[in-house]
Amino acid sequence: MPSRALTFSQLSAATDGFSSQNLLGEGGFGRVYKGLLEDTGEVIAVKQLNRDGLQGNGEFLVEVLMLSLLHHPNLVKLLGYSTDSNQRILVYEYMPRGSLEDHLLDLPPSWKPLPWHTRMRIAVGAAKGIQYLHEVANPPVIYRDLKASNILLDADFNAKLSDFGLAKLGPMGDQSHVSTRVMGTYGYCAPEYAMTGKLTKMSDIYSFGVVLLELITGRRAIDMARPSEEQVLLNWELSIRFSCMQASPLLRDKRRFVKLADPLLGNRYPVKALYQALAVASMCLQEDAASRPGISDVVAALSFLADPQYYPPGGTEAEHKSTHSGTDNDSSPPRAEMVRADDDMKHR
């Protein structure tokens, strides 16, 4: 269903006068309300932008245009918009599970942590959304603002990318990049883009690597509440990984990488899958943009890790225990598994 122009009175009625009881969230951009369209019976999310907020007229128009033209199961649907009464309002399909940030980084005490397999499914969904933007959309689109709060979840925890106000048409023809003012969120921006303003598809790959690392560790990209050496997620991850690789041969194995796993997972994940997911994240986070994998390779590797057939009959906890119970100190997972999640990506 294409997006349509809606009146302010329609949206006021849908949200009971933008009632605080229907408020889903708010930020520098404005507020988001849950609503019900009377003419269609659709449950909707209504984003009412502040007139002097962080999302300006340009970003508003970009989002309306982008989401009116782009359609994919892993992109949130824009159902309508309104510019009535000097307002700027965007109307989306309602995503009942909220954002990935809600379930991963701002987890209420009464909520259960996301299981490992669900985390990998969410990663695949987000990657498929980026794959559509990079490889199917014509011209290609660079998302430019991939982060946990912009990944929304439906009732079945399927991931959908939202907030396209910063999206940019990608380079075409012989162009290697798009030059633009640096925008995005600190902690997720690729270093070469932050330093030069040269935007490429690889900028999104880097941001995806940060999100994948958040899914694995349960930590924010930037968390000033942590000790100084742990405030920047990438620096902390590198220090753990480096210490693992510098250990003696008897200790240098994938089992030490469990230090990087979200403690809320307990032991309910397969260590080999953790190791391979970290390998994918590491490749996405290469400082040299040209060394990062294309998004199709990322989708292929993570789809393998999200496949239920990857896990043993006893569940992920059984695999975790069996991995720890053996005496084999080999530092490499079985080659057949690594070909799918590591080596193949390096050579393509």
Annotated binding-site residue numbers for ATP: 47
147, 161 Cβ separation under 8 angstroms? no
Please indicate whether residue 343 is annotated as part of the active site: no
The Cα 12–Cα 95 span in angstroms is: 20
Give Cα 39 distance to the centre of its chain. 33
Instruction: For the chain, give the longest Cα–Cα distance.
Output: 70
Q: Are 347 and 294 in contact (CB under 8 A)?
A: no
Q: How many angstroms separate the CA atoms of 13 and 19, rounded?
A: 10
**CA separation for the pair 86, 49 (Å, rounded):** 11
- Given a contact cutoff of 8 angstroms between Cβ atoms, the answer to whether 128 and 70 are in contact is no
Please choose, from the candidates 200, 348, 194, the residue with its C-alpha nearest in 3D space to the C-alpha of residue 283: 348
Compute the distance between CA of residue 59 and CA of residue 221 in angstroms, rounded to an integer. Answer: 24
Which two structure tokens, joined as six digits, stand for 29?
A: 């951009």
Q: CA nearest 90: which of 71, 65, 64?
A: 64
Number of Cα atoms under 13 Å in the Cβ half of residue 19: 9
Determine which one of 16, 102, 106, 145 is catalytic: 145
Taking phi first (over 0 means left), then psi (-120 to 50 degrees means alpha), and beta for anything else, what does residue 3 get?
beta
Residue ranges for the binding site?
Answer: 47
| Cβ pair 122, 100 in contact under 8 A | yes
What are the DSSP E strand ranges found in 170-315? 178-179, 198-199
DSSP line for 196-252: H-EE-HHHHHHHHHHHHHHHHH---SB-TTS-GGGSBHHHHHHHHHHHHHTS-TTT-
CA-to-CA distance for 344 and 348, rounded, in angstroms?
Answer: 6
Active-site residue set: 145
